[in-house]
Amino acid sequence: MQNGKVIVVFGPTGVGKTTITHYLNEKWGIPQVITHTTRAPRIGEVNGQDYYFESPESFAKNHYLEDVTYAGNHYGSSWEGLERAWEHHKIASIVLDSVGAETYMKELGDDVVLLYVTISNPKILMERLKRRGDLPAAMAKRLNSADFERDLALPDALKGKATVIKNDDWPLTKSALDRLVEKLES
């Protein structure tokens, strides 16, 4: 099958990556690639829709394009997931950490559109996680992790290659996303 494009959305926890992929789907019909994880579902998350939720044993049986450990849990994405999304639309989106974003860049080259999401004041991230309903222990573990620190900055290897969106203000973010998709579709 012919490759399409994949918008790789990455950035620190709570910055709005998932919110962005939901918007891209609702406004533009862009399907999200569903990835696999061993973390427990959050309230409202649905297996097969938000993630494929796995046990450590079932996670290890899959074949991944890339996989990482983030704040103590395993995450991985597959070629099959990407191809399934491209069957529906020539552009797909996926939410990854910055290590995954670098791997996608190496594996897929020009088919990847890197979208780094950031925020002016990282202290607001904790408020967003609280409002999302994250449990205090899980939130503290995540915000104290080296993975969180790393994703607060765009990796040097991706500088100049990624579109950067500051998700401080949702209406402004939506406009920036619309401009990005209009450019990709033209």
Ligand X SMILES: Nc1nc2c(ncn2[C@@H]2O[C@H](COP(=O)(O)O)[C@@H](O)[C@H]2O)c(=O)[nH]1
Ligand Y SMILES: Nc1ncnc2c1ncn2[C@@H]1O[C@H](COP(=O)(O)OP(=O)(O)OP(=O)(O)O)[C@@H](O)[C@H]1O
Q: Binding residues for ligand X, per CB under 6 A?
A: 13, 17, 35, 37, 39, 66, 68, 70, 75-77, 95-97, 99-100
- Residue of 161, 117, 110 lying closest to 5 (CA atoms): 110
Site for ligand Y in 104-163 (CB under 6 A): 128, 131-132
* Residue number, 87 or 127, with CB nearest to ligand Y: 127
Are 92 and 85 in contact by the 8 Å Cβ rule? The answer is yes
* Residue number, 83 or 150, with CB nearest to ligand Y: 150
How many residues sit in the footprint of ligand Y (CB under 6 A)? Answer: 13
Residue 79, interface with ligand Y (CB under 6 A)? no
Nearest distance in Å: CB 115, ligand X? 12
Alpha helices by DSSP H, listed for 17-118, are: 17-28, 56-61, 79-88, 98-108
Are 26 and 88 in contact by the 8 Å Cβ rule? The answer is no
Nearby residues of 72 by Cβ (< 8 Å), 6 or more positions away: 141, 145
- Tell which one of 6, 13, 64, 65 touches ligand Y (CB under 6 A): 13
Extract the tokens encoding 151.
């994703």
Nearest distance in Å: CB 146, ligand Y? 15
Residue 15, interface with ligand Y (CB under 6 A)? yes
Residue 74, interface with ligand Y (CB under 6 A)? no
Are 100 and 51 in contact by the 8 Å Cβ rule? The answer is no
